[in-house]
Chain A
Amino acid sequence: MTETLAETTAEAEEPLPEFPMPRATGCPFAPPPTAQALHTERPVTRVRLWDGSAPWLVTRYADQRALLGDPRVSSEATRPGFPHASAGFRENAGRRRSFITMDDPEHARIRRMVTAPFAIKRIEAMRPEIQRITDELIDTMLAGPAPADLVRALALPLPSLVICKLLGVPYEDHDFFQRNSSKLINRHSSVEEVVGANEALTDYLDGLVAAKLANPADDMLSELASRVTAGELTQRDAANMGVLLLIAGHETTANMIALGTVALLENPDQLAVLRETEDPKVIARAVEELLRYLTIVHNGRRRVALEDIEIGGETIRAGEGIIVYTSTGNWDSEVFAEPERLDIGRDARRHMAFGFGIHQCLGQPLARVELQVVYGTLYRRIPTLRLATGVDQLPFKDDGLVYGVYELPVTWAS
C-alpha cells in the first residue's frame, strides 16, 4: 500500500515529456524514441508545450481514428485550450481563418467551394501535364552540373508549378511565396515573422483575387472570385483560402519528393523495385507506403475537446487540447506489421498521413498523382542517382510543420 502510494506520488511529480520531441540521431525517418515509448506505455498522456500548457498526446492508431472522426473534437484554433505550435501560430489563429480551422457546418460549406478541381477524374486528366513538367525538370537537371540540389531542381518546382496553374498564381513569383510560406509554417519564426509572412501572402492573394474579379480565367482563384461576387465569401476570405491552397499545394509534395528519395536511396532493394517497374499499381502502392513511413506533417493534428471524452483509459475534459500524433499512428504495429521497415509492396492505404476525419487533406488526389509520376520517373530515368553527401550531413527540416530536407545534394553517373 505504502509502496503503491509512493509510486503514485513519484509519478505525479515526474515532469511531463516536452513536445515536440527530438528524433534520434541517425534515425531521420523514425518517430522520436520518446513518442514511441509513450505509444507503448501511455498511449493517451499529457505533454508539455512551449507555453507551459499540457494538452493530451494521442499516439495509438485506433484512438487517433476515433478522435479525428469525433464531432465532440473541434478544430477551431481560436478556442481556449487549443494547443498551438508556437506564439506565432497562436497569434495567427485569430488573423487567418480558413476551413481547416472551422467546424461543421461552416467548414463543410466553405470546403465544398474548392473540392471540385480535386476530384479524381479532373486530377487524372492533369497527369500528362505533370509528367511533361517532371521530364522537363529532370532534363534540365541532367543538362546541368552534378552534384545538383534535388529540392531546387525538381522537388520544389514541380508541385509549385502545378498548384500555380491550378490556382491561377503567376509562377514567376515563386521566390516570394516559397520564402513567405516557409516562414509562416516554421515554429521557430517569431510572432513578427509569422504575422508579416501571413500579411504579405494574404495581400498578394487578395490582389490576385481582385484581378480575377475583373478578368476571370479558368482557374481556382477565378472560381473563388465568382463566390465573392455572389456574396458567399468576402474577398479577404477568398484570399485566405488562396494562401492555404498555395502553401498546402507545394510544401507538402515537395518534402515528400525529397525525403522519399532519401528513404529510397537508403533502402536500395526497395528503390530497385521502383527503378525497374512501369506498373502503375506497383508505383501507387509505393506512394502509399512512403506516405505512411514518413508522415511528413509531423507536428500532430491539433484539436480541442468540446465535451468530456473517454479514450484509451483516460478522460479528456471539455476545453482541453489534443495532439493526435499520426507519426506514431502510422508506425503502429497493430495496424502495420514491422512498421519500421519500408516495404513498398505492403498495402498501406489505411495510413493517416493525410489526416483523418472531415479535415482530411483536400489535395490528396493531386499529391498522389504528383508522387506517382515522380517516383515512377526519377529513378528510372537516373538509375545511378545517389546522395552526394552522407545522410547524417543532410539539413533535416525539424523546425517546420512539414518534415523534410532543406536541400538534397545528389549526383549520378554521366
Chain B
Amino acid sequence: MRVEVDVPKCVASGQCVMIAPDVFDQREEDGIVILLEERPAPELHADVRESAVVCPAAAIRVVEK
C-alpha cells in the first residue's frame, strides 16, 4: 500500500490523525495533514483505508499494490 495526501485540499478535520496516528499527523501552525508513513505496515492498512473514506475533503489517496 502507498498513501498520498493532497495538502491543498486538506481542511484539518483531524479524523485521519484520530484513526491512524502512526501514519498521519497535523502541522502545528494550521492543523493541515502531514504524512508520516508513505508505506504503512500491513497492520495499519485497515485504519488508513478508513481514514481515506472519512476524510471530508477527499485529501487522502490509497494506492493498493
Partner-B contacts on A (CB < 8 A):
68-69, 108, 111-113, 115-116, 118-121, 123, 349-350, 354-362, 364-365, 368
A112 to B57, CA, bound (A): 14
Assess whether A357 is in contact with B18, with CB atoms less than 8 Å apart.
no
Which residues of the partner chain B approach A355 to less than 8 Å between Cβ atoms?
56
Using A112-B32, A115-B30, A360-B11 as known contacts, say yes or no to A120 and B56 having CB atoms under 8 A apart.
no
CA distance A381 to B15 in the complex (A): 30
Asked whether A364 and B13 contact (CB < 8 A) given A112-B30, A118-B31, the answer is yes
Q: How many residues of B contact A (CB 8 A)?
A: 22
Contact with A along B35-53 (1 / 0, CB 8 A): 0000000000000001001
Query: Which of B8, B50, B58 makes the CB contact (< 8 A) with A349?
Result: B50
- List residues of chain A with CB within 8 A of the CB of B15: 349, 364
Q: Which residues of B contact A360 (CB under 8 A)?
A: 11, 13, 56-57
A359 to chain B, nearest CB (A): 8
Having A113-B30, A116-B30, A354-B13, one finds 7 other A-B pairs with CB under 8 Å, namely A108-B11, A111-B12, A112-B32, A115-B30, A358-B57, A361-B13, A365-B18
Give B25 Cβ to nearest chain A Cβ, in Å. Answer: 8
Q: Which among A68, A357, A360, A362 has the highest number of chain B CB atoms within 10 Å?
A: A360
User: CB distance B14 to A357 under 8 Å?
Assistant: no
Give the number of A-B contacts (CB < 8 Å).
68
CB contacts (< 8 Å) of B17 on chain A: these are 119-121
Cα distance A173–B23 in the bound complex, in angstroms: 42
Contacts of B58 in A (CB 8 A): 69
Distance in Å from the Cβ of A191 to the closest Cβ of chain B? Answer: 32
Contacts of B64 in A (CB 8 A): none
Set A68, A119, A357, A361: member contacting B31, Cβ < 8 A: A119
Contact of B14 among A68, A119, A349, A356 (CB under 8 A): A119
7 CB < 8 A contacts A-B: A115-B31, A116-B30, A123-B14, A349-B15, A350-B53, A358-B56, A360-B11
Residues on the A chain within 8 Å of B14, using CB? 118-120, 123, 364-365
CA distance A120 to B32 in the complex (A): 11
Q: Given the complex of chains A and B, what is the CA–CA distance between A115 and B14 in angstroms?
A: 10
Taken together as a complex, chains A and B put the C-alpha atoms of A113 and B11 apart, in Å, by 11
| Separation of A121 and B31 alpha carbons in the complex (Å) | 10
Asked if B54 is at the interface (CB within 8 A of a chain A CB), the reply is yes
Residues on A with beta carbons closer than 8 Å to the beta carbon of B62: none
Determine if B57 and A120 form an interchain contact, defined as CB atoms under 8 angstroms apart. Answer: no
A121–B34 Cα gap in the complex (Å)?
A: 13
Contact at B53–A118, with CB atoms within 8 Å?
Answer: no
A123 CA to B12 CA, complexed, in Å: 13
> Are B13 and A116 in touch, CB under 8 angstroms?
no
Per the bound structure, the CA–CA distance linking A361 and B17 in Å amounts to: 15
Q: Please state if B56 and A357 are interface contacts (CB–CB under 8 Å).
A: yes
Give the CA-CA distance A115 to B50 in the complex, in Å.
22
The interface residues of chain B lying within 8 Å CB-to-CB of A349 are 15, 19, 50, 54
Closest to A117 in B: B31
CB <8 Å contact, A116 and B50: no
CB neighbours of A111 from chain B (8 A): 11-12
User: Closest Cβ of chain A: how far from B34's Cβ, in Å?
Assistant: 11
Instruction: Give every chain B residue within 8 A of A108 (Cβ-Cβ).
Output: 8, 11
| Chain B: minimal CB distance from A316 (Å) | 20
Q: How far is the CB of B63 from chain A (nearest CB, A)?
A: 20
A69–B56 contact, CB under 8 A?
A: yes
CB–CB A350/B13 < 8 A: no
Chain B's closest residue to A123 (CB) is B14
B65 to chain A, nearest CB (A): 25
> A residues within 8 A CB of B31?
112, 115-116, 118-119
Complex-state Cα separation, A111 to B56, whole angstroms: 14
Who on chain B is nearest to A366 by CB?
B14
Nearest Cβ in chain B — how far from A271, in angstroms? 25
Q: How far is the CA of A175 from the CA of B41 in the complex (A)?
A: 52
Q: Name the B residues within 8 Å of A69 (CB-CB).
A: 56-58
Chain B residues, CB < 8 A from A356: 56
**Nearest-Cβ distance from residue A129 to partner chain B, whole angstroms:** 19
Please, what's the 1-or-0 string for B16-32, where 1 marks a CB less than 8 Å from any CB in chain A?
Answer: 01110100001011111
